Chain A
Amino acid sequence: MSPATTAAHDLDARALDVATPDAFETHFGAVADALGRSLVAGERFTAWYEAEASDFVRFNRAKVRQAGRVTQQSVALRLIRGARHAQHALALSGEVAADVAQAVAALAGLRGALDDLADDPHLLLPDVVASSRNVVPATLPPSAEVVGQVLAAADGTDLVGLYAAGPVVRGFANSEGQRNWHAVSTFNLDWSLHHRADKAVKTMLAGFDWSAEAMRARMQGAREELALVARDARTLAPGRYRVWLAPSAVEEIASLLRWGAFSGRGLATRQSALSRMLDGQRLAPAVTIVEDYAGGVAPAFQPEGFVRPARIPLIEAGALAGSLVAPRTAREFGLAANGANAWESPESLAMDGGTLPAADALAALDTGLAVGNLWYMNYSDRVACRMTGMTRFATFWVERGRVVGPVHPLRFDDSLYRMFGDNLEALSRERELMLSSESYGSRHLASVRLPGALLSELAFTL
């Protein structure tokens, strides 16, 4: 072959226009309808649809490292016959006839596979039809325009990060006629300004309506914090220090707990990091945590078609109050399914705020560490909910309520029951809504809403 052709053409001026989710909805509807028509007697199906048209612009040294667009859509098709079922997840092309043909072919393949499978005692599907449609309006300018604004605001800095924007959708359909649609168009500018080596300030701006003014204000705030980072750094010896954890640092702890800590199955099998709360272990009375679907960006339905409640209490006044229960777990352990995903991980975790005004946090800290971000959390003893991680980005030594200067990265290793138990002095009154910037495979629709936390001590080990 000779692929190097150079015939001239005019650049399509609309090639980088922001995509809309409308075409995705039409497409999924056509595929779902075709699936329904191709069932034979005794069969049911469910279909979970994911799609996005995302612009990704990666920055390094306040320049563009890589820029591009990813357009993708897929359907996870489940065929059910009696108590047997199997799933085929398919990438869709976007061309209706081709995608209907491949979805119907996949269905036929699953039909043959069911003969090889046993009945599944843990199969649970909704017994009611509950359709819904949620399209969140958004205002996103062309991403190339945003890039110019960001780099102009960052002029003279060493900016690193990612701008991600565009529509992200989730859809559900089943053979009982249920149809659910959830479409949001979001932007997420996740960036850091670097002084040198590992000394940097991390900032994020995310939402539905881009505002250049809001971005410039955040950039100015980051520049001012960068001046503090540029001061002489201290090396602190391992030991116990008073700590103020900013909401973005608490978010890292919440991220670790997303690994099964609130899982109904994890608790039932004692694998959850919070298992000891089943035996009466408690956190501080100020700690109340809910899965707040109503307050996040996750869809109000899950891949089997169960509708999610507005809120699921997980920890109330320091005591375990509930868990996230996926349909299989519900069937296995005799629990009530409550809209959880298969991993039973939170998608809209929220912690109640406390009484400490965030503006007074450093004064309340007095002398100690103000931690802007934690990093790379993991368990040192899962059952004891003992966790380790590093300080990262803007972490400062504070004396008498005033920032002295940054500190070199420190490793902590401590138990959640100490951190958010006896050692929890206060939670900030204000909470921060943080939209997930995760993009493994696809852009994730998840968020957390968290306060900052003042701890009387945290154990640092390295």
Chain B
Amino acid sequence: MPYEGPLPPLDVRADFWSLRFVEEIAEVYAVRKNVAQPLAVSTDRGAMATVHADGGLGYAATSDLSPPGLVRALRQALAWARATARLGLFDTRTLPRPAAVGRYDAPSAGAARPTRREWYEMLAAESQAAGFDPRIVDWEAGIEVREATHRLVTSAGGDVVQRYRFVMAGASATAHAGGDTQTRTLAGERAICQQGGPEILARFGYAGCGRRVAEEALELVLAPDCPSGTMDVLLAPDQMILQIHESIGHPLELDRILGDERNFAGTSFVTPDMFGSYRYGSELLNVTFDPTIPEELASYGWDDEGTKAERVHVIERGVLMRPLGGAVSQARAGLPGVANARADSWNRPPIDRMANLNLEPGTSSFDDLVAGIARGVYMETNSSWSIDDSRNKFQFGCERGRLVVDGKLGQVVRNPNYRGVSASFWRSLTAVGDAATRRVLGTPHCGKGEPSQIIRVGHAAPACVFSGVEVFGGDAP
């Protein structure tokens, strides 16, 4: 990371300016069908200059981090701020000017990690174990290790340095038989993604996962289709994270509520008047914005506008409390929010993102959750997601289902799908699993924004039961 210390002198005649440096170095290892895939290394490095001038806002991103390069970027940002000041959506002179100073280090950010050979040997072992049957037609195990340093310097005296190490792991196997094809993964594509080191893999039982996902893929391709009807669903954490993400996270993003995303990612059925009174879900629903869980994917000390990150409830006992909006959105809306103004890299401006959004555990053991269901389906691992642009009418699919009959887990079924409406679905939450059922997961692939951005988000969730849900399967071959 250039400029670990003081920046070169920068002359900017502006109300406010900032420079946000990002350096990310990644290595991707994969073994597919017992063939080591070519090593892929990346080094990305650049800076985003943001300037407030005459009430306008401009930015310029550059990978030229020389002093002249930074000056050029600041001048471009200043020119954009001035050129659009009279056309601006809001007056930047009313915005806070962050001055935070501090440092954040992810767990074991600098600790030793396995060598390349060790990574490949581990993945090769999983791959060898997965290809045990000719009906397994494709399989892969992969690891991505990404180290990042982010620094935000502001003209108000702010200087925040944050260091991260992300480990993202996956394994998948695809079985084909009888005209059908089924893929099973380890908690979804890259859902195992946390901050830290190789201890993350042990936490998720990565060793042995190759054989496990292959066996389950084979089981699925031979299983009957999920039945159709209105029934209870018990959603495993690796489906709950998608349910939270799409039908709580996105609709609560304040920039969507303010209309910024209406041309692309969409609007929200949530309106500003709902906060503090709207019943979003049953009494069992408690959702927090929590950047303080060290291993969770989007934990950090400050967001990309320099607002200190803290844990808060966004839904408490089912009641909507506050939106997911950073300092700029909060000022525009006159609402409280959270520290979630984030950019996916140096080349995109911060917008309101989810970061870590977690459903707090309840009191039911997994056995209790199952025992409380007379007729339903236990669904694991998201495989399909679709929701309307107001984040209301949704349809989600999972990799694996198991029938639940009279309080007992039964037959495995394939293509389990369900659909519903966010505004009513969360009110049908009838049981929430305890801490033993909770998993800290996430996704590195949340897309949003114009220009578009893909960002890392964390979700921790227990298993949960919803009643009276429309369930269905696939087209039988």
Contacts and interface: CB of A to CB of B under 8 A. Distances in A.
A146 to B, nearest CB: 11
Interface stretch (A216-224, A293-301, A357-365, A437-445): A437-445
A237 interface: no
B41 interface: yes
B263 interface: yes
A117 B389 CA distance: 46
A109 B41 contact: yes
B58 A67 contact: yes
A66 B349 contact: yes
Interface in A40-90: 54, 56-58, 60-61, 63-74, 78, 85-90
Nearest to B19: A3
B393 A66 contact: no
B263 A392 contact: no
B46 A87 contact: no
Interface stretch (B83-91, B283-291, B298-306): B83-91
A93 B395 CA distance: 44
A443 B60 CA distance: 16
A94 B64 contact: yes
A367 interface: no
A197 B474 CA distance: 33
Interface of A: 1-9, 11-12, 15-16, 54, 56-58, 60-61, 63-74, 78, 85-95, 98, 106, 109-110, 113, 116-118, 120-123, 144, 147-148, 151, 158, 160-162, 164, 190-192, 194, 197-198, 200, 202, 269-271, 275-276, 279, 375-384, 386, 388-390, 392, 409, 411, 413, 415, 438-441, 443, 461-462
A92 B450 contact: no
B387 A106 contact: no
A93 B64 contact: yes
A205 to B, nearest CB: 13
Contact of A89 (B41, B60, B384): B41
Nearest to B470: A462
Contacts of B258: 60
B450 A72 contact: no
B181 A382 contact: yes
A219 to B, nearest CB: 14
B37 to A, nearest CB: 8
Contacts of A462: 393, 395, 419, 421
A200 B261 CA distance: 13
B7 interface: yes
Contacts of A164: 451
24 contacts: A1-B6, A2-B157, A3-B19, A3-B157, A6-B12, A9-B11, A15-B75, A58-B451, A67-B83, A68-B59, A68-B61, A72-B63, A78-B38, A95-B64, A117-B39, A118-B36, A194-B262, A270-B174, A378-B397, A379-B384, A386-B475, A438-B452, A441-B347, A461-B395
Given A60-B260, A67-B80, A191-B263, A116 B117 contact: yes
Given A116-B116, A271-B138, A66 B419 contact: no
Contact of B395 (A9, A15, A279, A388): A388
Interface string B364-402: 000000000000000000001111111001010100000
A409 B390 contact: yes
Nearest to B45: A91
A121 B35 CA distance: 8
Contacts, number: 307
Contacts of B76: 15-16, 68-69
A63 B37 CA distance: 48
A7 B37 CA distance: 53
A110 B27 CA distance: 12
A70 B45 contact: no
B159 interface: yes
Contact of A271 (B44, B60, B174): B174
B475 A411 contact: no
B461 interface: no
B7 A1 contact: yes
Contacts of A276: 179, 477
Contacts of B180: 383
A98 B46 CA distance: 14
B415 interface: yes
B43 interface: yes
Interface of B: 5-7, 9-13, 19, 35-46, 56-66, 69, 72-73, 75-84, 87-89, 115-117, 120, 137-138, 153-157, 159, 174, 176, 179-181, 183, 258-260, 262-264, 266-267, 345, 347-349, 384-390, 393, 395, 397, 415, 417, 419, 421, 447, 450-454, 473-475, 477
A388 B46 CA distance: 39
Nearest to A114: B39
A269 B477 CA distance: 17
A192 B75 CA distance: 31
A380 B77 CA distance: 45
A270 B154 contact: no
A89 B80 contact: no
Contacts of B82: 11
A204 to B, nearest CB: 10
A435 B11 CA distance: 40
A192 B474 CA distance: 35
B363 to A, nearest CB: 33
Contacts of B61: 68-72
B230 to A, nearest CB: 13
Nearest to A92: B63
Question: Counting chain A CB atoms within 10 Å of each CB, which of B76, B154, B155, B263 scores highest?
Answer: B263
Nearest to B420: A462
Contact of B385 (A120, A144, A378, A409): A378
Contacts of B9: 5
A375 B390 CA distance: 11
Nearest to B138: A269
B474 A63 contact: no
A375 B454 CA distance: 18
Contact of A72 (B46, B69, B78, B415): B46
Contacts of B83: 16, 67, 144, 147
Given A67-B57, A191-B263, A88 B451 contact: no
A357 B415 CA distance: 40
A77 B169 CA distance: 24
A413 B475 CA distance: 11
B120 to A, nearest CB: 7
Contacts of B397: 378-380
Contacts of A144: 80, 83-84
